[in-house]
A = this chain, B = another copy of it.
Amino acid sequence: MYRTHNCGELRLSDVGNNVTLSGWVQRTREMGGMTFVDLRDRYGITQLAFSSDDNDELNQKARKLGREFVIQIKGNVIERSSKNKNIPTGEVEIKVEELNILNAANTPPFTIEEETDGGDELRMKYRYLDLRRKSILNKLHLRNKVALETRKFLDSVDFMDVETPYLIKSTPEGARDFVVPSRMNEGEFYALPQSPQTFKQLLMVSGIDKYYQIVRCFRDEDLRADRQPEFTQIDCEMSFVEQEDILNTFENMVKHLFKSCRNVEFEGDFPRMTYADAMEKYGSDKPDIRFGMEFKNLNEVTQNKGFKIFDEAELVLGIVAEDCAIYTRKQLDALTKWVKRPQVGALGMVYCKYNADGTFKSSVDKFYSQEDLQAWADASGAQPGDLMLVLSGDADKVRSQMNDLRLHMGDELGLRNPNEFKPLWVVDFPLLEWDEDNNRYHAMHHPFTSPKEEDIALLETDPGKVRANAYDLAMNGVELGGGSIRIHDKELQAKMFKHLGFTDEEAQKQFGFLMDAFEFGAPPHGGIAFGLDRLVATMGGSDSIRDYIAFPKNNSGRDIMIDAPATIDEEQLKELGLKIEG
C-alpha cells in the first residue's frame, strides 16, 4: 500500500500513530542536523522531519531529494515544536523512519509556486506541471464542484441527463463547423455540434419533458483571446413552459450554484431589463450593473451651440464619473488616447469637469458657456466634484464605444469587484439582426427562436422590429447563458427559414427532420444554455476562461503540449478519399 493517509489529513489527534505517506517534494530545508521536507499532494502539505541524531544515512538521503521528486515515507506522527497555523496539518510532523524514492524529477522548467516564472507558452507546453500550482488546481476543483452541483440541482427538479451525438450533420447557418470525413461513407462528412440544439428539441418532441446535458460544443472560428474551439455548455430544455417558467427554474439553479460552491446568497429575485433598455442605458446586452454610470442622452443640451462634431452626430452620450473632477490633464489625455485605440474606435472624447466650487471646465469651453455646461450636468445628473465624459457619432457605434469607456472607468475606479456578483436577466431580444455583409437578416439567437406573438405581424412589414421570446443571463458584464422559447409549429418554422433566406429545398434538406417532427405532436418548449467555462471563471472572480480548462488550446487553436493538430499519414488520407490541395 502506497499510503495510509493523504498529505492533508493528519492532525494532533494522530500523534503517536505510524503512517505511510506518498507525494511530491515541495521544498527541503536544512537546520543544523535536521532536515525538513514539505511533502505535497492534492489534499495538502505535511512536514517530514529527518535528523542525523536518529539516522544519519536517512537524513543524508533526504538532503539529496530534489524538488518535485515523488517519494513514499513511513514514520511516526509527532507534535511540532513550532506550529504553522497557516495550514491544517501545521501542528504535526512525521518523524521519518523509511524513505523510498518512487520517481526522481528533473528541475521543472518553471517554479511550481503561486508566483511562477513561467510565461504563457511555457506553462501551456508543460500544462501538467502548471496544474500542480495550487491556484490552478483550485480552479479545477471549483469547476468539478459547479458541474456536480448543477447535476444535483437539475436532477432534483426532474431534469434527465440525455447524451446527444457528437457526429452530426453540418449546417450552413451560424458559425463554421468542424467537419469529420467519413471513411465508411466516402466523400461525406459528419460535423461536430456547435450545440445540441435540434437534438434537444427532438427530445422535447419525444416527451422527455426536461432535458439537460453538460456537453462539449465546437466552433471553428478565428479565435479571440478568450475563445476556445471546444467549449462546454450546460444545455437545458423544458416542455410546456413559458419564458417565466424557464427564468424561474434557472434563477434557482444559479442561486443554488453560488450558495453551494461560493457561499454567496442573492437577495430577492434577479433584476430584469429589456434588451432595448440595456442598449440605451449601457450600450451592451450584458451590462455590468455592479456600478452605475448609466448613459445619458445629451443631444438636446449639446446640439445647436456651434460645435459641429456634436451637431452632426446622431447621438451625443455622456457618463458621469463620480468625484473625478480632480483628474489631471495627463489622466484625461490618457483616457482620450484609450478611446481612440482601434479596439474602441472613437474619434475623440469630450470631457467636462464639474469642479467642487461649482464651476465647469470642459475641453469645449470655446463652444459652451458655464450655463450650457450646467445644462449638461443637469441632464446627466452630475454633482460638483464629478467628471462628465462625452462621446458622439453614429448611435450604434457611440453606444458600443461608450460601453467600452464605461467598463474601463469602472476598472480604473475599482468599481468592478470580482467577488461581488450582480446577475441581470436581459429579455426581449430582437428576433433578427441585419447582416450588412450578406445583405439579409439572420437570427440573433438561432433560427428556432419564437417571435413574440404580438410581433408576428411585423415579420412582413418591419422584421427588424420583431422581438423574440429570448433571454440572456448577464453577470458582471459577462453573458453567462442565454436561451429562448422555441417555435413548435411547422408553418411558423418554415416562415422563419424563408425570412432567413433559405429556399424551401434548403430548409427541407437541412432541417426537414425537425420540421417533420413538428407534425407528430410537438409540445410548446424552450430552453437555455450556460457556458460552463465562462460561468466557472466568473464564479472564480476571473475574466479569463483559460485557466479553468484543464488542457486549453492557444489562439491558433493548437494544443502545444501534445502538438496538435498535426499531419497524418498518406495512407490515412487515402482511406478517407481525401487529398490535400497544395
B207, B218, B518, B567: the one within 8 Å of A188 (CB): B567
- Check A577 against B581 for contact (C-beta < 8 Å): yes
Of the listed stretches A238-246, A344-352, A414-422, chain B binds A238-246
Q: Which residue of B lies closest to A512 (CB)?
A: B563
B180, B559, B575, B580: the one within 8 Å of A180 (CB): B180
In the complex, whether A502 has a CB less than 8 A from a CB of chain B is: no
- Check B169 against A216 for contact (C-beta < 8 Å): no
- Check B178 against A180 for contact (C-beta < 8 Å): yes
- Check B169 against A566 for contact (C-beta < 8 Å): yes
Question: A313 → chain B, closest Cβ, in Å?
Answer: 39
In the complex, whether A335 has a CB less than 8 A from a CB of chain B is: no
B103, B151, B167, B169: the one within 8 Å of A148 (CB): B151
In the complex, whether A224 has a CB less than 8 A from a CB of chain B is: no
Question: A139 → chain B, closest Cβ, in Å?
Answer: 11
Q: CB-CB < 8 A to A579: which residues of B?
A: 578-581
In the complex, whether A370 has a CB less than 8 A from a CB of chain B is: no
Q: CB-CB < 8 A to A523: which residues of B?
A: 22, 24, 70, 102-103
Of the listed stretches A38-46, A301-309, A314-322, A459-467, chain B binds A38-46
Question: A490 → chain B, closest Cβ, in Å?
Answer: 9
| Chain B proximity mask over A248-287: 1 for CB below 8 Å, otherwise 0 | 0000000000000000000000000000000000000000
Q: CB-CB < 8 A to A188: which residues of B?
A: 565-567
B203, B242, B567, B568: the one within 8 Å of A1 (CB): B242
Q: How far is the CA of A520 from the CA of B203 in the complex (A)?
A: 47
Interface residues of A in 555-580 (CB under 8 A from B): 556-559, 561-569, 572, 574-580
In the complex, whether A165 has a CB less than 8 A from a CB of chain B is: yes
In the complex, whether A86 has a CB less than 8 A from a CB of chain B is: no
- Check B167 against A229 for contact (C-beta < 8 Å): yes
| Chain B proximity mask over A162-203: 1 for CB below 8 Å, otherwise 0 | 111111111010001111111111011111100000110011
Number of interface residues of A (CB under 8 A): 121
- Check A184 against B70 for contact (C-beta < 8 Å): no
Q: How far is the CA of A409 from the CA of B325 in the complex (A)?
A: 92
Question: A519 → chain B, closest Cβ, in Å?
Answer: 5
| Chain B proximity mask over A137-173: 1 for CB below 8 Å, otherwise 0 | 1001101100110010001000011111111111010
Query: Given A140-B162, A206-B131, A580-B187: A561 and B108 within 8 A (CB)?
Result: no
Interface residues of A in 113-128 (CB under 8 A from B): 126-128
Query: Given A160-B144, A180-B180, A207-B24: A166 and B230 within 8 A (CB)?
Result: yes
Query: Given A242-B2, A521-B103: A207 and B562 within 8 A (CB)?
Result: no
In the complex, whether A405 has a CB less than 8 A from a CB of chain B is: no
Q: How far is the CA of A525 from the CA of B37 in the complex (A)?
A: 23
B102, B184, B513: the one within 8 Å of A556 (CB): B184
- Check B182 against A565 for contact (C-beta < 8 Å): yes
Of the listed stretches A74-82, A431-439, A470-478, A546-554, chain B binds A546-554
In the complex, whether A524 has a CB less than 8 A from a CB of chain B is: yes
- Check A241 against B521 for contact (C-beta < 8 Å): no
- Check A208 against B140 for contact (C-beta < 8 Å): yes
In the complex, whether A106 has a CB less than 8 A from a CB of chain B is: yes
Question: A130 → chain B, closest Cβ, in Å?
Answer: 8
| Chain B proximity mask over A410-448: 1 for CB below 8 Å, otherwise 0 | 000000000000000000000000000000000000000
Q: CB-CB < 8 A to A567: which residues of B?
A: 187-189
In the complex, whether A209 has a CB less than 8 A from a CB of chain B is: yes
B162, B179, B189: the one within 8 Å of A144 (CB): B162
- Check A105 against B520 for contact (C-beta < 8 Å): yes
Q: How far is the CA of A161 from the CA of B131 in the complex (A)?
A: 14
In the complex, whether A517 has a CB less than 8 A from a CB of chain B is: yes
In the complex, whether A497 has a CB less than 8 A from a CB of chain B is: no
Q: How far is the CA of A188 from the CA of B558 in the complex (A)?
A: 11
- Check A160 against B184 for contact (C-beta < 8 Å): no
Q: Which residue of B lies closest to A176 (CB)?
A: B183
Q: Which residue of B lies closest to A21 (CB)?
A: B240
Q: Which residue of B lies closest to A185 (CB)?
A: B565
Q: Which residue of B lies closest to A184 (CB)?
A: B557
Q: How far is the CA of A549 from the CA of B183 in the complex (A)?
A: 23
In the complex, whether A220 has a CB less than 8 A from a CB of chain B is: yes
Q: CB-CB < 8 A to A36: which residues of B?
A: none
Task: Please give 10 more A-B residue pairs, beta carbons under 8 A apart, in addition to A141-B160, A190-B564.
Answer: A70-B523, A103-B522, A106-B519, A128-B205, A166-B192, A169-B565, A184-B222, A184-B556, A189-B566, A577-B580
Question: Can you list 26 A-B pairs, Cβ within 8 angstroms, ordered by A?
Answer: A3-B240, A6-B209, A24-B521, A24-B523, A40-B207, A42-B208, A103-B488, A103-B518, A126-B520, A131-B206, A131-B207, A148-B151, A163-B550, A165-B551, A166-B216, A166-B230, A167-B218, A169-B559, A169-B563, A179-B181, A180-B565, A183-B220, A184-B220, A198-B562, A202-B561, A513-B562
Q: What residues of chain A have their CB less than 8 Å away from a CB belonging to chain B? A: 1-3, 6, 22, 24, 40-43, 68-70, 72, 102-106, 108, 126-129, 131-132, 137, 140-141, 143-144, 147-148, 151, 155, 160-170, 172, 176-185, 187-192, 198-199, 202-203, 205-209, 216, 218, 220, 222-223, 229-230, 232, 240-242, 245, 488-489, 513, 517-524, 549-551, 553, 556-559, 561-569, 572, 574-581
